[in-house]
């Protein structure tokens, strides 16, 4: 994968990502009372962009982004939970190392 999709995790990146996720959830919770139109969506776009920049893209960010559009679900700390899950998965991947490259097929073999 390219470096945009998967970045090496450092303590600084993890702390910044968690700070951004917690801040986004807090802002959305506070701003939901006045009902500022468009504010939640702007926070979601900014949060997803910043998290992708810091820790790389992960498919778990997509359902989190979509869930934020539902009225009651946006009150949950979805960005915080998703960021913690992505960090845990990436740490596990970094400990086990990258997957070995696929072996080439022998000459004359038919790949299905």
Q: In this predicted structure, what is the pLDDT of residue 1?
A: 44
Cβ atoms of 20 and 47 within 8 Å: the answer is: yes
The 3 state secondary structure assigned to 39-98 is: HHHHHHHHHHHHHHHHHCCCCCHHHHHHHCCCCCHHHCCHHHHHHHHHHHHHHHHHHHCC
Q: In this predicted structure, what is the pLDDT of residue 92?
A: 87
pTM of the model: 0.74
In angstroms, rounded to a whole number, what is the distance separating the alpha carbons of residues 97 and 112?
28
Q: In this predicted structure, what is the pLDDT of residue 9?
A: 86
- 94 vs 52, residue with greater confidence: 52
In angstroms, rounded to a whole number, what is the distance separating the alpha carbons of residues 32 and 58?
27
Provide mean pLDDT across the span 51-76.
86
| pLDDT band at residue 93 using 50, 70 and 90 as cut-offs | confident
């Amino acid at each position: 994968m390219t470096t945009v999709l998967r970045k090496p995790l450092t303590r600084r990146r993890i702390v910044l990502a968690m700070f951004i996720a917690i801040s986004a959830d807090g802002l959305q919770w506070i701003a939901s009372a006045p009902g500022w139109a468009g504010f939640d969506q702007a926070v979601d776009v900014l949060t997803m962009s910043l998290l992708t920049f810091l820790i790389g893209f992960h498919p778990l960010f997509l359902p989190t982004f979509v869930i934020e559009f539902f009225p009651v679900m946006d009150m949950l700390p979805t960005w915080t939970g998703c960021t913690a899950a992505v960090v845990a998965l990436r740490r596990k991947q970094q400990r086990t190392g990258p997957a070995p490259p696929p072996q080439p097929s022998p000459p004359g073999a038919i790949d299905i």
